[in-house]
Structure 1
Amino acid sequence: MTRAATLLDGWLHATSTLTAVRVPPPGRVDRAVAGTAMVLAPLAALPLGAAAAVVVLLAGLVDLPPLATSYVVLLALALGTRAFHWDGLADTADGLTASYSPERSLEVMRTGPVGPAGVVAVVLLSGLQAAGLTAVVRHEHGWWAVGLLVCASRAALAVCCVRGVPAARADGLGTTHIGAVPVVGAVATLLAAAVAVALAGHALGAAVPALVGLLVMVAAVGALLVRCVRRLGGITGDVLGAAVELSFAVLVLASATT
């Protein structure tokens, strides 16, 4: 398989998995394609970033209050991902609080309905995202910043799937992806995210707080990975979704301080 074919299939796989955008199916999905998809996740999220930016622009034209604008942005992102990441966040929270048994926790994550911990996690994290977005969208160029931060938050996927991170089970949607990203690929994705975050911060008046937010994002995702590996023996596809939503919350909150 040529490198060009792997890149194309990786982009198609990332777009079809991480967004509701309809694209042709990839020619194949193996470890190389799955790892490439995680590296290209911020690029695949461009339609989501564009949708969020358009929402902010239109909300400004009709003088929608910033808080309402923030929740419409979150609604657009949920629709644009089929609430895929929110489901992962809820399942991860339920699994980590369900039992001290890794087997029982993984079973809850796989089959259980959303429990109290999942509901609390979704409510609190969406509230934090909305709080951060409320401050960001007040800026003249807030629409541009929001779009960039949406894309940058997807860099968390390359971090979660870097080589050395174990999978908690041998089956499941995330198994092919976990551990499939070379270290150089994860670093490249983070560097691209740093550029996006710096541009977002510049649009809001200061790049440094936004870049600090990226560092905090990596630390937060790292802490989540450590916790899941210790409790579950590895991570699952649900943890990937949780990492995306956690990362977006951290980035918008950091950018809100500019």
Structure 2
Amino acid sequence: MSESPVIDENPPPRSWLGDAHLAAVFLTRLPLPDAGMGDLARSMRAFPLVGIALGLGTAAIAWAAASVLPPLPAALLAVLALVLATGALHEDGLADLADGLGARGGRERRLEVMRDSRTGAFGVLALIFSIGLRASALAAIPLGWGQCAALVAALALSRALIPAAMQVMGPARTDGLGAGAGCPDATVAAAAAGLGLLACLIGLGLSGTLAVLLAALAAGGAVVWLARRALGGYTGDVLGAVQQAAEIAILLAAAGALT
């Protein structure tokens, strides 16, 4: 997540459909038509819509795999399919941030380590726990509607937190993907949050939504606090780590609420 995209300084107005298209092209590796240049910051309002689509697809794979496999292998295959669909975009950010936070030295040294394409021990451990916790939580959730609702909630709400995190932090550096994407305004962050919460309410109800929201805010907030303290703000890697931490926390909370 370190390359800077080419951002049109005066993009044409986009509809929700156009924003969803741009968001899907950015967040996934699915074979979609070229979205052209546009306002990536504004398209973040549609990030939860991409999460909903990914959640439904992942739930279908989990259900199909569980028809022939025990719960844990089926859940691992579902998580694998999700990683392939997204090109490990957020996992890469989580691993880079873990390596940066584990590096000795000050802010500049941490940012330098995060730019390194090699993955260190902290990054590998972060990925192991990310995959393991998500798969084990998913395996513990009853098959069918419960898994589908949990996945949609996790993938939508965790992506809704990305523009919210950018509202409370400034960029840690002037280049890179985090700075190049631009900062979404408060209306974009609010629209994304509303969509993420709606996805949770439909699938999990009010009590379930409160549980996963608190878990997501605690996990994502912890990453935000660490990033501000250690780096002085966000990078693309930090935003990926916010999404991963929130997704893990939501699935764990859903497993507790639904079992």
Q: 3-state SS of the aligned residue for 2:184? A: coil
Residue number in structure 2 paired with 1:54: 60
**Using CA pairs below 8 Å that are at least 6 residues apart, which structure has the higher relative contact order?**
2
SS of residue in 2 equivalent to 1:154: helix
Q: Percent identity among equivalent residues?
A: 35
Q: Which residue of 1 aligns with 2:7?
A: none
Runs of 4+ deviating beyond 6 Å:
none
CA distance in 2, matches of 1:2, 1:87: 29
Q: Deviations over 1:170-209 (max 9, x none)?
A: 111121335x12223222322221221122224xxxx413
| Mapped pair 1:91 → 2:102 | no
Tell me the equivalent position of 1:156. Answer: 161
Q: Which residue of 2 aligns with 1:219?
A: 218
* Corresponding position: 1:36 with 2:42: yes
Structure 2 contact 22–40 (Cα < 8 Å) conserved: yes
Query: Is 1:209–1:257's contact at 8 Å kept on the other side of the alignment?
Result: no
Cα offsets for 1:86-112 (capped at 9, x unmatched): 111000000011123111111110115
Q: 2:4 maps to which residue?
A: none
2:6 is aligned to none
* Correspondence for 2:108: 103
TM-score w.r.t. the length of structure 1 is 0.87
Specify whether residues 141 and 17 from structure 1 end up closer, same or farther in structure 2 by C-alpha distance, changes over 3 A only: same
Asked whether the 8 Å contact 2:211–2:254 carries over to 1, the reply is no
Q: What is the root-mean-square deviation in Å for CA atoms of aligned residues?
A: 2.1
Contact 1:15 1:45 in 2 (8 A): no
Task: Name the residue aligned to 1:240.
Answer: 239
TM-score, normalised to structure 2, is 0.86
Establish whether residue 122 from structure 1 lines up as the match of residue 121 from structure 2.
no
What CA distance in whole angstroms lies between the structure 1 residues aligned with 2:96 and 2:148? 32
Q: Match of 1:122, as an amino acid?
A: L
Among residues 121, 131, 136, which one is paired with 1:131 in the alignment?
136
Structure 1 unaligned residues grouped into runs of 5+: none
Which stretch of the first structure deviates more once superposed, 38-47 or 78-87?
38-47
**Is contact 1:6–1:36 with CA below 8 Å preserved after alignment?**
no
> Partners of 1:135 and 1:182 in 2: how far apart?
38
Cα pair distance change 1:107/1:184, threshold 3 Å: same
Corresponding residue of 1:71: 76
Q: Distance in 1 between matches of 2:148 and 2:190?
A: 24
Matching of residue 195 in structure 1 with residue 223 in structure 2: no
- For 1:38 and 1:222, the matched residues in 2 are separated by 19
Q: CA deviation at 1:6?
A: 6.1
Task: Tell me which moved more, 74-83 or 186-195.
Answer: 186-195
